[in-house]
Chain A
Amino acid sequence: MKKLVLSVLMILLVVSSFSVVTITITGWPGNPAEEAAISEIVQKFNASHQDIQVRWDPIAGDYKQTLMTRLSGGQGPDLFYVDIYVFEELARANVLQQLDLYISRDKFDIDDFYPNLVEAFTFNDRVYGIAKDFSTLALFYNKEIFDKYEVAYPTSNDTWFDLLYKATLLKERGYETPMSLAADFNRLIPVIHSFGGRLVKEDLSTALTEKEAVAALKFYIDLASKYEVALLPTTLGAGWLGDAYAKELTAMVMEGPWALGYIREEFPNVETKTGIVELPGLVEKSSMIYTVAWSMNRQSPHKNEAWEVLKFLVTEGQEIFVQKAGVLGSRQSIASKDTDPMKKVFYDSVAFGYPWRVPTPTGIFAKADDYINSLLNDLFAGRITIEKAVDTIEKNYDVWVKP
Chain B
Amino acid sequence: MKHRTKEAIFGYVFASPVIIIVLLFTIYPIIMVFYYSFTNYNPLETQKFKYPFNPQESIEFHVGMFQDEVRSVDEIKDSFDLFSFVQYDVGLNLNEEQKQAVAEYFEVEKLLEDFVDGKLNKILTTSEFMTTYMAKKKNLFKKYTPQLVGFDNFKRLFKDEYVRISLVNTLLYTAIVVPVQTFLAVLLAVAANLKVKGVKFYKVVFFLPAITSSAAISMIFWLIYSRPGILNRILVALFGGFGFQPVDWLNNPNTALFAIMLMNIWSTAGYFMVTFLAGLQDIPSTLYEAADIDGASGTQKFWKITLPLLRPQILFVIVMGTIGCMQVFDQIYFLINNMRNITISFYIYKNAFEYGNMGYASSLAIILFGIILLITFLQRKYIPEEY
Contacts and interface: CB of A to CB of B under 8 A. Distances in A.
Direct contact of A and B (CB under 8 A): yes
Interface of A: 61-62, 64-66, 68-69, 71-72, 74, 92-95, 98, 100-101, 104, 124, 126, 232, 234-237, 298-299, 301, 303, 366-367, 370-371, 373-374, 377-378, 381, 383, 392, 396, 399, 403
B92 A94 contact: yes
B227 interface: yes
B353 A403 contact: no
Contact of B50 (A235, A299, A374, A403): A299
Contact of A62 (B88, B93, B252, B354): B354
Interface residues of B, number: 49
B248 A232 contact: yes
Given A232-B248, A237-B228, A377-B340, A68 B356 contact: yes
Interface of B: 40, 42-48, 50-53, 57-58, 60-61, 84, 87-89, 91-93, 156, 159-162, 226-229, 248, 250-254, 333, 338-340, 349-350, 353-357
A95 B44 contact: yes
A79 to B, nearest CB: 16
Nearest to B47: A74
A94 B253 contact: no
A298 B91 contact: yes
B61 A370 contact: no
B228 A65 contact: no
Given A235-B227, A383-B254, 9 more contacts: A68-B356, A69-B43, A71-B44, A92-B93, A98-B61, A101-B58, A234-B227, A370-B339, A383-B340
A61 B334 CA distance: 9
Given A101-B61, A232-B251, A374 B47 contact: no
A381 B254 contact: yes
A72 B52 contact: no
Contacts of B355: 366-367, 403
A65 B226 contact: no
Contact of A234 (B44, B248, B349): B248
25 contacts: A68-B44, A68-B353, A72-B43, A72-B44, A72-B356, A93-B44, A93-B356, A94-B48, A94-B88, A94-B91, A98-B61, A101-B61, A104-B61, A124-B88, A232-B248, A237-B226, A298-B91, A301-B52, A366-B355, A374-B338, A377-B253, A377-B338, A378-B338, A392-B161, A399-B160
Which are the 8 A-B pairs with shortest beta-carbon distances? A72-B43, A374-B339, A65-B354, A237-B228, A94-B91, A234-B251, A377-B338, A69-B353
A71 B88 contact: no
B366 to A, nearest CB: 19
